[in-house]
Amino acid sequence: MNPQGERWTTDQVLALAPDEASRKASGRLAAPGPWSETGADGSAVWGLCKGSGKKPYQAVVDFKGPAFTCSCPSFKFPCKHALGLLLLWAGDEGAVAAGEPPQWAGEWLAARRERAERSAAGPSGAAATRAPADPEAARRRAERRMQRIGAGAMELEQRLADLLQSGLATAGREGGGSQADGGGGRSWDETAARMVDAQAPGLASRVRELGSVVASGADWPARLLEECALLHLLEQGFLGIDRLPAPLAATVRARVGLTTDAADLLTGPDAAPVRDRWLVLAQQDGDDGRLTTRRIFLRGERTGRMALHLSFAGANRPLELALPTGLVIDADLAYYPGARPLRATLGERYAPATPGPVPPGCGIDAALAAYGDALRDDPWLDSWPVVLADVTPIPGRDGRGWQLADADGESALPLDPRCLGGTGVWQLAAISGGAPITVFGECGHRGFLPLTAWDPSPVSL
């Protein structure tokens, strides 16, 4: 046991893996066989892993961060050796003996700590070097970008107006025939590319979504109209952004695709970090082939506020943050500005993460009310994160969808159809066994998307 009394679970370690292959490969290295000179102290674990070459690989993991290093040539990060070492350490208390780091591990660890202390001592250092940039030039750049986005929004407005004028049915014929998007109008993908050119990635991704709605499923005209209307609302918001209250204007800006520098949120003049004990409710990785997106949901113990931390990485690149589900971190979070802040960036962490409790939750009425309430501030929200307590999964049978039923047994929340393909819902049913359980997920207009269930230890779905 290390001094913090903190030992990660296998799930937590596996959550760090960059892809499925490393997850499996590391599972095979999680045995004493290939390892030698392993050791751990309160803050790090290290070991030599026999590979195919003569010289064994030197793997070191710093729990703070966590950070990894390994002498293997793998371009994956963390590599399977680092993961295997962590699994070995996590799986069996006796497998890795306590000790002092050998030289090859100690050097790296010391360098890391030194760097950490330096940046802690002078947090303004980085900001100071950036400050001398010409503020006037920056302002002009920003203005030009606003103009380009405005032009893009106008163009898109025209595109939507044309569509509504000739009718969605025509879009259905075009989209339904083939994905070639031929015919009269410009294709959605083409329009999306125009929005990328206009430096409005938020608009671009919404337009791409429109393309996938057309002629998909029974009620596609209604869904297409919904998405077109919300896109129209966003453009109108952007075109009239000067007349919006500041928080709503920030929401519109973020939704259009204008980013805020995370460092400014923590250290800028308007920085308002929230310190709390944050429970990690879920950590989910999405992968669209080019980009891995990691979403970490947190909830503050004291404030009760939900937060969403996003990190992105190109294929096979490390994700900046790994927070296994179920841990509690005492840390600063700074929310991105908006009418309904949710996205946040992580600031200073005051203590090592510790295993957290089963979170308290609400019922189904309250969950729907929370989503409705959030929509009041941000009409573009597809869902809002909630912890449901005492809900019973009802498996879908005979064409009826899955539900989560309330403790009273009468009202229920349908599960989001997107979750039905995987094993997640079956894990939900298995954990429940027909009895009420606690589930975290996103409650939205498509239904409830479960992400974590407690059995009572957290299980990622």
Partner 1 sequence: MTTTTSPETNPTPPATAPAPWPDLVSAALLGTERRRPPVAVRPGQSAAAALLDAAAVSTVRRRAALRPAPAGERPAPAPDDPRPPLPLPARRRLALLLADRGDTGGGSRRGAAPDLTELLPQWLAAAGAYGYRAPEALLPALLDAARARTDLRPAALALAGPRALWLARLNDAWKFALRGTGGAAVLPEGEAPEEIARRWEEGLFAERVALLTAVRRRDPEAGRDLLATTWSTERAEDRLMFLDSLREELTAGDEPFLEQALSDRSRTVRATAAELLSALPGSALAARMAQRAQVCVGLDPAAGPEAVIRVEPPRECDAGMQRDGVVSKPPSGRGERSWWLGQLVEATPLGGWEARFGGRAPEEIVALPVADNWRTELHDAWCRAAVRQRDAAWARALLGVPGAPSRTGEVAPAGSSRDLTKLLTVLPDGERAGWVAEFIAAHGLSDAFRMLGVCAVPWAEPLGRSVVDALDIARDAGSYPWSFSGVMGLAERCLDPAAADRLAMLTAVTDEPEGASPGSGGYWSEAFQRLVGTLRLRATMRAELLPPPDAGTTGGSDPTADAAASRAVADADTAAGAGTAGCATTAAPDDGSAP
CA distance 406 to 365: 9
| C-alpha–C-alpha distance, residues 82 and 25, integer Å | 11
Compute the least distance from the CB of residue 209 to partner 1, in Å.
Answer: 14
In terms of CB distance, is 131 or 218 closer to partner 1? 218
Question: Which of 333, 451 has the CB closer to partner 1?
Answer: 451
- For partner 1, the closer of residues 6 and 330 by Cβ is 6
User: Is the Cβ of residue 102 or residue 414 nearer to partner 1 in the bound state?
Assistant: 414
Closer residue to partner 1 (CB): 33 or 176:
33
Q: How far is the CB of 345 from partner 1 (least distance, A)?
A: 28
Give min distance, CB of 259 to partner 1, in A.
25
| CB 116, min distance to partner 1, A | 29
Residue 100 makes CB contacts below 8 A (sequence gap 6+) with 39, 41, 106
What are the E-state strand segments in 239-382? 274-287, 291-300, 306-314, 327-335, 344-349, 354-355
Bridge partners of 36, per DSSP, are 48
Shortest distance in whole angstroms from residue 203 CB to partner 1: 15
Residue 295 backbone phi and psi in degrees, to 5: -110, 125
Radius of gyration of the chain (CA): 25
Rounded Cα distance, 12 and 354, in Å: 12
> What size, in residues, is the chain?
461
Say whether 405 sits in a helix, a strand or coil.
strand
Question: What is the closest distance, in whole angstroms, from the C-beta atom of residue 425 to partner 1 in the complex?
Answer: 9
As measured in angstroms, the least distance from the Cβ of 187 to partner 1 is: 19
Please say which residue, 257 or 393, places its beta carbon nearer to partner 1.
Answer: 393
Taking the complex as a whole, how short is the minimal distance between the CB of residue 315 and partner 1, in angstroms?
Answer: 16
Q: Are 390 and 365 in contact (CB under 8 A)?
A: no
Q: Which is nearer to partner 1, 152 or 237 (CB)?
A: 237
**Residue 175: Cβ within 10 Å count:** 24
- Between residues 132 and 433, which has the closer beta carbon with respect to partner 1? 433
**How far, in Å, CA of 348 to CA of 120, rounded?**
9
Q: Give the residue from 280, 310, 231, 243 showing the smallest Cα distance to 440.
A: 280
